[in-house]
Amino acid sequence: MAGLMPDSDSEDELPPGWEERATVDGSVYYVNHATKGTQWTHPRTGKKKIVSGELPFGWEKCVSEDGKIFYVDHTNRRTTYTDPRLAFATEEKEHPHDFRQRFDASTTALQILHGRDLGGKTAIITGANTGIGFETARSLAFHGCTVIFACRDVTKASAAIDKIKCERPNVTCEVMELDLASLHSVKTFATNFKLHYKKLDMLILNAGVFGIGFSLTEDGYEAHFQINHLSHFYLTLLLESVLVDGCRIVVVSSESHRFANLSASKLTKEVLSPATVQKYWDMMAYNNSKLCNVVFATELARRWEARGVCVNALHPGNMVSSDLSRHWWLYRLLFAFVRPFTKSLQQAASTTIYCATAPELANVSGLYFNNCCRCEPSTASQDPELARALWDTSNEMIHAAIGRSTSSSEEQ
């Protein structure tokens, strides 16, 4: 049997004669073949490591007749006593939110998932039929994940799935109708999902609108606010009962959240959702909705910390060429002009995939990521008073809209 040594940098390299191994429970220990001794701490750094997560795609853990554990790589027809997950083993840290950056702005979503087996996992992706959402869905599906396309246009979502199946016929994808401009549609989607699925491993809140003219949804709220924030807020709360321990909730926000004008002292329903065009500016409406995304993710992480659910927000990339700019010709022109200098859709989906699947982010929650790396969000997004005010106001607006809808249906 051949040994398999993980990739490592010079700081983590073992001295001659040492070997790294993992126990059944995921603890890492080190063997000194010269002295026939073992120890739990790294011989150079003195730090402990732990192995977690599923085996890479194509690998199987087996037990020999004499009780020894070994690993079979069916893809390359190799066998080893060394746990292949050692390549991704993480050190116990005094500061658990400090990560060694493995990826950057040039990384693609499929590169992050290289070797991963997501079989048995289920993901919901809002707006999965196009742009960054499509590449996110495609990447997860390629690695065995069951992907639910939560989309308003069922026909376009079905065509997107057909496109993926042309590349990989055996992927598991399903369309479920979700119109984020309708809280009734959100409730119906959640009910239907829970009827067909008993668990959810990843909830990726990706869908959004940008630069649209002033309009109100059927619930009477400004479209940017409801589609980008309020409906995602409602959807998440409705799905709480099926979120498994270790579920990842990923909120796609934007660096535009830094230019919002929301504050705890001035947060009202009218500020969040202008009722008339006179109080509306599309860019500020978008910026405010993206701040709501980050604030929601941070507050949800705090409230659900004991549930074992990880919630993180992210910025996918600057002016990525997608359908987001479709609502106004000037934005389309600007996005087309900068396209050669921005990320591809596969690169733009990478931070979403990183937050949804990276082993080192297990049990990590309440953070903001850009280019697959943690960064500090705006000061406003970290204001606990703003977080509480947004949470309470969002709940009030949902209950008010649901109440109006119920009254209307009873009158009919």
Q: Is 286 a catalytic residue?
A: yes
Looking at the chain, which residues constitute the CATH 3.40.50.720 domain(s)?
A: 109-405
Q: What is the CATH number of domain 109-405?
A: 3.40.50.720
Residue 410: the pLDDT is 45
Structure tokens at 395: 């709940």
Residue 194: the pLDDT is 98
Looking at the chain, which residues constitute the CATH 2.20.70.10 domain(s)?
A: 10-91
pLDDT tens per residue across span 289-321: 999 999 999 999 999 988 999 999 999 977 565
Alpha-carbon dihedral of residues 190, 193, 194, 199, nearest 10 degrees?
-110
Residue 84: the pLDDT is 80
Q: For residue 313, how far is the Cα from the chain centroid?
A: 8
Inter-residue contact 298 to 382 (CB < 8 Å): yes
Inter-residue contact 43 to 30 (CB < 8 Å): yes
Q: What is the CATH number of domain 10-91?
A: 2.20.70.10
- Give the active site residue among 286, 331, 354, 368: 286
Residue 355: the pLDDT is 98
Per-residue pLDDT of the chain (412 residues; tens, 9 = 90+): 333 333 444 456 788 877 787 766 667 767 777 776 666 677 777 777 767 667 777 788 888 888 778 889 887 888 887 778 776 666 655 555 666 678 988 899 999 999 999 999 999 999 999 999 999 999 999 999 999 999 999 999 999 999 999 999 999 999 999 999 999 999 999 999 999 999 999 999 999 998 889 999 999 999 999 999 999 999 999 999 999 999 999 999 999 999 999 999 999 999 999 999 999 999 999 999 999 999 999 999 999 988 999 999 999 977 565 565 454 545 555 555 445 556 889 999 999 999 999 999 998 999 999 999 999 999 999 999 999 999 999 999 999 999 876 555 444 3
